[in-house]
């Protein structure tokens, strides 16, 4: 057996993942950091920028989301953004040293009538010298292939939580539909970006089961975003119980151990996180973030604040 076959596993058992979560904090972080160093340059963090290209009015009822038409969040709806406006934002991101541009749309799935312009957007953003990522909701293989041919590098589609907890958070689609889209994206030859949200009132068991689902996919997602819930007023999760930041760090560490070659992204929720908690996440194996003062609809730390943090930690953004 080669070294790689030994470390890249797709058969993680629930008990094994529970045991990782149960380790003493120092033991867990030591182990995760060791795995991280074997596979990555430890002082380098990839930075992506997000742009919401279609805002609000989404027919899905995801309990965490500001953009669902089922919740009164006061968000103003906007139709698909003009291509030139998207390109202007992408150019600005490129100038600021961002390597990947991620475009999100509040859709259940894109309509065929929008595919032509979406493909143009992908091609033109890519031509600026940026990696491209989109998150548009469910895709079938045909649509995934259209985007891949246009030059899309990554597709984001999160499992969000465990199969058991999923129906507590979303009722308008099921877990299997998420898995089907992930299959279609993988089959089309796109890189997969897939992770979840922590702090939605789920149990440790649910976090274990989410990471198990991700790690036991036939191929690990190249990018694994771990989001801390951003509590949006007007959503069913606005009053979710606060989560211990150290439990979030543990979730990052276990993700790193289970998926040694994936980029683990410290995603939403950094505005409410201390610098020290973020530093622990980087030690535990997070090696990518979103740059820029806005995620899709909610706040993110300002870029100069992140640059200061990186400089204090000796981290190079790339
Ligand atoms: N509509 C598409 C979909 O659901 O796949 C794409 C956009 S959706 C906003 C992308 C992801 O953002 C969600 O899957 C979820 O993981 C994350 N997200 C949305 N609202 C969030 C919040 N309030 N806190 C943390 N993560 C959130
Ligand atoms: C992901 O997992 N997190 C990003 C990206 N993928 C698309 C989105 C976070 C959104 C946070 C809530 C908002 O800004 O609306
Ligand atoms: Fe719609 Fe995506 Fe928000 Fe769910 S997470 S309501 S699918 S925009």
* CB 253, CB 284: distance < 8 Å: yes
Span 70-94, average pLDDT: 96
Q: In the annotation, is 194 catalytic?
A: no
Buried b (16+ CB within 10 A) or exposed e, 86-106: bbebbeebbeeebbbbbbbbb
**What is the SS3 assignment for 203?**
coil
Q: Residue 58 — left, alpha, or beta (φ > 0 → left; ψ -120 to 50 → alpha)?
A: beta
Q: In the annotation, is 65 catalytic?
A: yes
Q: What pLDDT digit, counting tens, does each position of 250-292 carry?
A: 999 999 999 999 999 999 999 999 999 999 999 999 999 999 9
Q: For residues 280 and 77, give the distance between their C-alpha atoms in angstroms, rounded to a whole number.
A: 37
Q: What is the pLDDT of residue 4?
A: 52
Q: What pLDDT digit, counting tens, does each position of 97-109 carry?
A: 899 999 999 999 9
Distance 109 CA to ligand 3 centre (A): 10
Q: What pLDDT digit, counting tens, does each position of 167-217 carry?
A: 999 999 999 999 999 999 999 999 999 999 999 999 999 999 999 999 999
Distance 258 CA to ligand 3 centre (A): 27
Q: What is the pLDDT of residue 136?
A: 98
Is pTM beyond 0.85? Reply is yes
DSSP 8-state symbol, 189:
T
Given ligand 1 and candidates 135, 174, 243, 269, which is best to mutate, with the most ligand atoms within 8 Å of its CB? 135
**What is the SS3 assignment for 104?**
strand
Q: In the annotation, is 119 catalytic?
A: no
Q: What pLDDT digit, counting tens, does each position of 26-69 carry?
A: 999 999 999 999 999 999 999 999 999 999 999 999 999 999 99
* CATH architecture of the domain formed by 32-317: Alpha-Beta Barrel (3.20)
Span 90-100, average pLDDT: 94
Domain regions of the chain by residue span: 32-317
Q: For residues 47 and 262, give the distance between their C-alpha atoms in angstroms, rounded to a whole number.
A: 15
Percent of the chain clearing pLDDT 90 (strictly above): 97
Does the CB atom of residue 135 touch ligand 1 within 6 A?
yes
Q: For residues 192 and 261, give the distance between their C-alpha atoms in angstroms, rounded to a whole number.
A: 13
Closest to 157 measured CA to CA, from 210, 104, 206, 99:
104
- Tally of helices (H runs) and strands (E runs) in the chain: 12, 10
Does the CB atom of residue 104 touch ligand 2 within 6 A?
yes
Given ligand 3 and candidates 55, 59, 65, 268, which is best to mutate, with the most ligand atoms within 8 Å of its CB? 65
DSSP 8-state symbol, 141:
H
Q: Assess whether pLDDT exceeds 50 at residue 1.
A: no
Confidence class for position 7, pLDDT limits 50, 70, 90 = confident
Q: Assess whether pLDDT exceeds 70 at residue 70.
A: yes
Q: What is the pLDDT of residue 119?
A: 98
SS (H, E, C) 122-165: HHHHHHCCCEEEEECCCCCHHHHHHHHHHCCCEEECCCECCCCC
């Amino acid at each position: 057996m080669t070294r790689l076959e030994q470390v890249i596993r797709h058969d993680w058992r629930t008990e094994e993942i529970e045991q990782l979560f149960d380790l003493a904090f120092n033991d867990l972080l030591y182990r995760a950091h060791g795995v991280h160093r074997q596979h990555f340059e430890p002082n380098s963090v990839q930075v992506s920028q997000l742009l919401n290209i279609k805002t609000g009015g989404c027919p899905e009822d995801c309990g965490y989301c500001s953009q669902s038409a089922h919740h009164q969040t006061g968000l103003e709806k906007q139709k698909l953004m003009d291509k030139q406006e998207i390109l202007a934002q992408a150019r600005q991101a490129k100038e600021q040293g961002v390597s990947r541009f991620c475009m999100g749309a509040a859709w259940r799935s894109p309509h065929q009538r929008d595919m032509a312009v979406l493909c143009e957007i992908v091609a033109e953003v890519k031509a600026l010298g940026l990696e491209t990522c989109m998150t548009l909701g469910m895709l079938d293989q045909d649509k995934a292939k259209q985007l891949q041919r246009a030059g899309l590098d990554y597709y984001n589609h999160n499992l969000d939580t465990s199969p058991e907890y999923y129906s507590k958070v979303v009722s308008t689609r099921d877990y299997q539909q998420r898995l089907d889209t992930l299959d279609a994206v993988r089959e089309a030859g796109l890189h997969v970006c897939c992770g979840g949200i922590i702090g939605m009132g789920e149990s440790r068991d649910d976090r274990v089961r989410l990471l198990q689902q991700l790690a036991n996919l036939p191929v690990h997602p190249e990018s694994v975003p771990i989001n801390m819930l951003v509590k949006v007023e007007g959503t069913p999760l606005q009053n979710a119980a606060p989560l211990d930041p150290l439990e979030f760090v543990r979730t990052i560490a276990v993700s790193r151990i289970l998926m040694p070659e994936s980029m683990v992204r410290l995603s939403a929720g950094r505005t409410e996180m201390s610098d020290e908690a973020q530093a622990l996440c980087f030690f535990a194996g997070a090696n990518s973030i979103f740059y820029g003062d806005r995620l899709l609809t909610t706040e993110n730390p300002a870029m100069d604040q992140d640059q200061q943090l990186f400089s204090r930690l000796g981290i190079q953004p790339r």
